Structure 1
Amino acid sequence: MNIADNQPNPNFTKLFQLALADWPEIVDLRLLDYSKTAKRRYSVRGLGELEDNISTRYIGTKIEILMRNLHYVIFVTLHKLAPEIESLHLSDLREVTIKARFEEWLRKSLDVEGWTADDVALVERYLAGDSIS
């Protein structure tokens, strides 16, 4: 991920604003459950369920593949930060960083089985910078 080369994408800005509006303004990351067998493995109680409840709202929509993956990237980012902080204002997430992670994830996921031809076409249009509306 090379954030310095990350060019503005009006499609992403709209998706990111939509995604941030779906999450609570502040996410509580205090409730960590650590694995008894692996020292560095943990989960944030309730975070996975929160992301799932948010992202499932997009099932059946035209932008489902983009929004569900964007919400997953936000979830992963929050999960990685949880051992370091107790809560996070979602407005503090750097758009350029989330965009880079999101697009990297989409590129890696293009070969995933289960995506429809329409899903792949939408992701390819998005990555090419074409209009997705």
Structure 2
Amino acid sequence: MHRVLEDPEQYPISLKFGWPKLSTNEKIFLASMFYPLFAIASQLSPEPRSSGIQVLETASYQLHCFQTLTGVKFLAVVDPRQTGVEALLRRLHELYADFALKNPFYSLEMPIRCELFDTHVRSALESAEKLGVANV
């Protein structure tokens, strides 16, 4: 049996702790559960023209929703202690606008297939993680 910590060739070791990544099916399930709640909250709100749910809080996580003026929603599941999630979601919206909406070959509601978009999103998430902002 190979022991990683006993093997000098394994150094430096980079350990990263966090929640396990959600599978695609889990993301779809979470989104499909969120959208009806969002619509109900918008209709039941005493505020006229309410934008619905912005943050859904539980003891173990928060679900943040950033809705654009066009109705596109960006969701982030984060630790309840995280701060600055809205700024991160705004940055992701900027990247979406720059790399998807300005692309004449992109079709709405389709996956974004753009290496440059992926690179910028990864960079934004890494920067946010270093600052302790969010695990999206």
- Check whether TM > 0.5: no
Identify the structure with the greater helix proportion: 1
TM-score, normalised via structure 1 length? 0.31
Structure with greater contact order relative to length (CA < 8 Å, sep ≥ 6): 1
